[in-house]
Amino acid sequence: MDATGQNEQGTATARPRVVWAVVGSDIGPLLLAATEDGLVNVVFHATDAVRDKALARIGSRFGTEPVEAPDSPLLADAIRQLDEYFAGRRRAFELPLDWSLITGFNREVLRELAAGVSFGAVVGYGDLARRVGQPSAAQAVGVAMGANPLPVVVPCHRVVERDGGIGGFGGGLETKRKLLALEGVLPEPLF
């Protein structure tokens, strides 16, 4: 498909529809974006500037302008399940995911994380590297966590350092602490 929305034969092709909404959560506003294939992006700290940058990136990637649609059926399950998660009533997400914003090793690592590290559990960067058959790729696993387009749902907050440190986090360490506390891995802060 070219920039005009036509394929090589010159006939019109449908561009993927991308819908989005900003929802409140215990860790601040989250931007959720979805396609017909599933949830495609979760963005932390969705202020106007963060939202605009994320939507421009998504629009560029899909070749279409994302449409604000908080009542879209494409977002309904994601919004409901995230609400349940933050209310302590959901331990696993059961959502279709659109993995098209990530490829290669990063996708492989994130799929393993989503399938193999459950609520309330943590895994080390090196352990996750071994799970995907790349035992010397702990640093690359860290890069994959930073590139995760679906945080919370694909739980990169559950990846920690071997020595017991919580490691880095694209949403900020306070956000990671809150998510780990919600799952019972860390104690709730006193104040």
Q: Which of 21, 33, 152, 156 is catalytic?
A: 156
Where do we find the tokens 């352990």? 127
Residue whose structure tokens are 């945080």: 151
- Please give the C-alpha separations between residue 135 and each of 4, 62, 128, in angstroms, as whole numbers: 44, 34, 8
Tokens read off for 37: 């294939």
62 labelled catalytic? no
Cα dihedral 105, 107, 109, 114 in deg (nearest 10): -170
State the residue for tokens 């209310």: 87
Q: Which two tokens stand for residue 178?
A: 């809150």
Residue 22: count of CB within 10 angstroms of its CB: 16
CA pair distance 1, 19, nearest whole angstrom: 21
Dihedral sign, CA of 163, 164, 167, 173?
A: negative
Task: Give the pairing type, strands 19-23 and 30-35.
Answer: antiparallel
Active site residues per annotation: 156
